[in-house]
Amino acid sequence: MLAKDFAKTVVHDAETSLTVAISPCCWMYPNYPFQIQVHIAETGDHTITSKKGLSFADATEADVDELVASLSIVRCPRCQSPMFERTGNEAHNPDKLCSKCILADLNEQYEVAKKKAEEKQQKEDAKMKAQGYTHRINARIHPAATGDDYQVVMYASRRPTNASMKAQLRKLGSEVFDDYFITKL
């Protein structure tokens, strides 16, 4: 029987080594098939694989080796780094990229959205300033017990005091009176 903390490193090729560990679920839960977690040491890409009909108690290192040998390692179509082949239907990953490339895309989308929101805000600020407003207030409304917090944007023609902010936020149904920031236009 293997130790629960059995681990080994398998050299796949000159650039790729695999670190292998036992998935705790296969010794924690009865009737769970023997399962291992494998990481590509160089990139952090990971996968899990299991052997149906084999229990943790009956598994040997030869079973580990067999599972590792059955893994297919390919190159990310974009960055060419080694990754486990994506065999499932990943709707969010139609190009079957590696995790790092997916993350980079998400970050980029986030930055674009953030920049758009900032530009929109600047336009609105300029418009309000032209109308005589001097301050923008971004506040978070925390409604009583039920209901989620939400964001409001207000403009004022002079810097609001703590007391006037408290009155305003109370009027909007908030139970928190200091969750806001004021920006001079």
In angstroms, give the least distance from the CB of 93 to Zn ion.
11
Q: Which of 18, 59, 76, 128 binds Zn ion (CB under 5 A)?
A: 76
Q: Which is nearer to Zn ion, 10 or 104 (CB)?
A: 104
Number of residues that bind Zn ion (CB under 5 A): 5
Q: Is 2 in the site for Zn ion (CB under 5 A)?
A: no
Q: Which of 38, 98, 154, 169 binds Zn ion (CB under 5 A)?
A: 98
**In the structure encoding, which two tokens stand for residue 149, read together?**
């917090």
Q: Is 40 in the site for Zn ion (CB under 5 A)?
A: no
Q: Which is nearer to Zn ion, 79 or 106 (CB)?
A: 79
Q: What does the alpha-carbon distance between residue 76 and residue 96 come to, in Å, rounded to a whole number?
A: 7
Q: What does the alpha-carbon distance between residue 132 and residue 185 come to, in Å, rounded to a whole number?
A: 10
Residue 182 burial (CB < 10 Å; 0-12/13-18/19+)?
A: middle
Residues whose CB falls within 8 Å of the CB of residue 159, separated by 6 or more in sequence, listed in order: 134, 135, 182, 184
Q: What does the alpha-carbon distance between residue 40 and residue 82 come to, in Å, rounded to a whole number?
A: 8
Q: Which is nearer to Zn ion, 83 or 165 (CB)?
A: 83
Q: Is 154 in the site for Zn ion (CB under 5 A)?
A: no
Q: Which of 160, 167, 161, 166 is nearest to 179 (CA)?
A: 166
Q: Which is nearer to Zn ion, 107 or 164 (CB)?
A: 107
Q: Which of 18, 38, 101, 139 binds Zn ion (CB under 5 A)?
A: 101
Q: Is 79 in the site for Zn ion (CB under 5 A)?
A: yes
The site for Zn ion (CB under 5 A) is made up of: 76, 78-79, 98, 101
